[in-house]
């Protein structure tokens, strides 16, 4: 069921988003060669706590049989890992890597969700383009996030932009509604047809998240039951924000 948020509820979501933005700033300042992904996790969690929020991802049930609930504050996916990578002291970032960070916060019972891909030191032109296209695809989707349009208008705008730039989109995972729960209706695919899907209404809150691949979008789940990586081993990038539909242009809470 799609829930419509009141002005008061949107204010509460904005408070959760402020904590998330603080965590993003803290992470961005520490992404450099020689840093472990677990260190990024610690930095993010401390920033969340300082702003009165808790990590939304801790305790999330694993979607695959045999996997354990998630124990970390953020996801850190390196290079060919596109989403749900687990922070580790053993994963040390090096020059030329790219790392996708996904994080969520809960404050006063309301959620926010966002993600970024960062270059580590000097990165290749392909990686620079991947990161830029992921970000620009998000904004192409947001341009369609207006009252009266449908979810498929967002999806199609993302798909058209990414494919025009020579990359592909992850098919098995998608954006989502958000509010008192991290994942609510409706689903927001990154591939779709204009004029299809639920109609957008004022007060709907969505997490829009293009997940793009340098090569083919075929992926597999690693033995940790969480990390999703490309089968061809090519690079990936990701960009996500929480938005609210208004009677004008969409309001982006996590920038």
- Tell me if 1 is assigned to some domain: no
Q: Would you say 169 and 211 are in contact if contact means Cβ atoms under 8 Å apart? A: yes
Read off the pLDDT of residues 208-228 as tens digits, 9 standing for 90 and up: 999 999 999 999 999 999 999
pLDDT average, residue stretch 163-185: 97
The pLDDT tens digits for 43-73 are 999 999 999 999 999 999 999 888 999 999 9
Classify residue 2: in a domain, yes or no.
no
Structural domains of the chain, count? 1
DSSP state of 40: H
pLDDT given for residue 100 in this prediction: 98
Confidence of residue 41 (pLDDT cuts 50, 70, 90): very high
Q: State pLDDT tens for residues 102-150.
A: 999 999 999 999 999 999 999 999 999 999 999 999 999 999 999 999 9
Under the banding of pLDDT at 50, 70 and 90, the label for residue 164 is very high
Rounded mean pLDDT, 173-183: 97
Q: Is residue 232 part of a domain?
A: yes
Alpha-carbon distance of 104 to 21, in angstroms, equals: 10
pTM: 0.97
DSSP state of 48: H
Report if residue 108 sits inside a domain. yes
The CATH number for 106's domain is 3.90.230.10
Q: Which residues are registered as beta bridge partners of 112?
A: 105
For residue 26, is it within any domain?
Answer: yes
The answer to whether residues 149 and 190 touch, using CB atoms and an 8 Å cutoff, is: no
Whether 11 is covered by a domain: the verdict is: yes
| The predicted structure's pLDDT at residue 246 | 97
pLDDT of 185 higher than 90: yes
Q: Quote the pLDDT of residue 65.
A: 85
Range of the domain at 225: 7-252
């Amino acid at each position: 069921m799609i829930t419509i948020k009141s002005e008061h509820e949107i204010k509460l979501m904005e408070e959760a988003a402020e904590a998330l933005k603080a965590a993003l700033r803290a992470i961005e300042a520490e992404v450099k060669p020689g840093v472990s992904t677990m260190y990024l996790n610690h930095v993010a969690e401390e920033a969340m706590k300082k702003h009165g929020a808790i990590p939304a991802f801790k305790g999330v049930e694993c979607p695959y049989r045999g996997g354990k609930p998630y124990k970390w504050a953020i996801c850190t996916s390196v290079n060919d890992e596109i989403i749900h990578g687990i922070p580790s002291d053993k994963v040390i970032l090096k020059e030329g890597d790219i790392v996708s960070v996904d994080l969520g916060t809960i404050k006063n019972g309301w959620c926010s969700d966002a993600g970024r891909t960062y270059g580590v030191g000097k990165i290749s032109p392909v990686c620079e383009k991947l990161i830029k296209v992921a970000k620009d695809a998000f904004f192409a989707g947001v341009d369609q996030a207006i009252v009266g349009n449908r979810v498929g208008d967002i999806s199609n705008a993302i798909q058209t932009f990414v494919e025009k730039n020579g990359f592909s989109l992850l098919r098995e995972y998608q954006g989502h509604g958000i509010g008192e729960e991290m994942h609510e209706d409706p689903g927001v695919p990154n591939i779709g047809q204009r004029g299809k899907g639920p109609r957008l209404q004022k007060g709907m809150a969505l997490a829009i998240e293009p997940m793009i691949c340098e090569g083919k979008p075929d992926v597999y789940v690693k033995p940790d039951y969480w990390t999703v990586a490309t089968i061809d081993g090519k690079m990936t990038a990701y960009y996500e924000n929480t938005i609210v539909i208004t009677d004008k242009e969409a309001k982006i809470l996590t920038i």
